[in-house]
Structure 1
């Protein structure tokens, strides 16, 4: 039996961030993952400005180290293509200069970004990293949580468990009671293509909202060496209700949609089309309890509109480390004491998640989406406002106000 004060299950961005922040305070932790790194993770591969900010919090030099990696591309914004075909281009920073400014975001395959963080983990003597160990059992024993694998060869007892093991975390489902709800869960597919034409020179990511695929969306994210991450996402509730085969629909759009057909004419699918689930942060949940905290996808913190999960995983990992340090100081691992973690995470993220839920519902009104995109294409002030909405939540709050749309429609 191995005993530890803090055990983190899952060494993706959320778990690695928690371990690194603990290490910064001189606090040891045991970090476990069922995979051996580098390993693939099905994702859109976009790293927002929030990811860059969280890297800085771990170490001020980390964003610069990432920018020097050949596995990434700097990204300067998002193209939203409305159901009517209007392109709404939203730079992450208005009036940016790609030749001189520091990028606000990046695009990198998760196999590379996650390994980038793991290399930082391996530099820290405070972190014991165990790879290739699949924890399958969690039991309570003498006021602690006991972890073991299916063979019984791994036995760990911990005062505090940080569960950061993803959307399909057995601990989240069976111990923490987090349920998979179709109205708060998104189904997605991801594929890698080479030689897709028409990619943006400043590596804007593309979100296409085709009329015959709503409320789903189709994305194209450029990657180094001529590759692109291509995929689709749709609420599980809609997939089930409409009996949609996502893979068939994705391939149909690539083959038949006039714009995509042209751009994919000489493109080559590299590898398989893979599916995954995204537990959305569109409702508040209890994400901690006696002796444990949930982090990232295990806590269902994915943005309902953009599908982004990496930054929210890192934010929750940072707050988990803060709470863990307090638990050790106070020798208190009770649910009541750890509830401060839930408050901290939702204090940081809930307003943003709630607004993204409102934006997600905009897809139920494609004519309104078309109007917003069409006006913004010809109105510089509106385009700048929408750009700022990605970093200014007070501005984004306007999306909830009917007066915002009334002005769009009649001005």
Structure 2
């Protein structure tokens, strides 16, 4: 059993070692006629939207326009955007029409944003994302230089509470430790696609060719669905190092983090066939060694898991204080997935920002 735990720990360690080498920086000069439309779906984002707009409008190296789709906010989001738009003609406030049956909220807002955009490239970001000044230019240049339809990355995650530290780092752990090639363009199969919905730039022609967001109107995990659709349509997609491009604070505590990850779990690991396999991989490699101590192989497995986690954390520019929490992070991630699977089996809807989506809606 201790040999098994070492093997299960060595798998993500070797995968992460390769992926951290392969994960490159976005780079390249955009063509002179490039216009990047920065598209922000916003529902109840009064606490975030001003800083998001300030960062987006400070973009350099490429012409930008910024569009915000207010999705029936119940706070001051539209007023904040409207006041800022009066000062900068590059910013437009749009109002989302009522959510049609069969659509999820963010996907619908993104589809309407794309329709209104004028850009050659569409940069979808969340309202809690703060773009670096050169992010839009670098991502567009990277796409053009490499003939890549979609460029994405995981922004540097700002983590301020224990609850966030127990949940958010699982994103990079899973991508770097368990996805061959970490979403680089040479892994052309749709099943090998990856994307972070917080930060996605897509070339307009390719986006429209595969049906845009309307092609997966029921999805909650919009980024992954778009990347897979593009690859299925013969287009190249690529994950780059997102930490230099943007930062983001996804959630503000454990409860919000739990609910946020629970919402998307049904479209990822939380399937009847997939989750038992993921449980063996994650629990066997990251939790089982603790139960087998003081066996030497179990101790070696723990060293590998912590080295892996530290390397990923430092590359992603996440706080080092989250590294000792690693076993709890893996346990919480599995608990979220099993909870999502149980809720789906019981027909309980996923909810977010006052909306509930049935299992069919999120499928």
Normalising by structure 1, report the TM-score.
0.24
Higher strand fraction (1 or 2): 1
Higher helix fraction (1 or 2): 2
Higher normalized contact order (CA 8 Å, seq sep 6+, divided by chain length): 2
| Bigger radius of gyration | 1
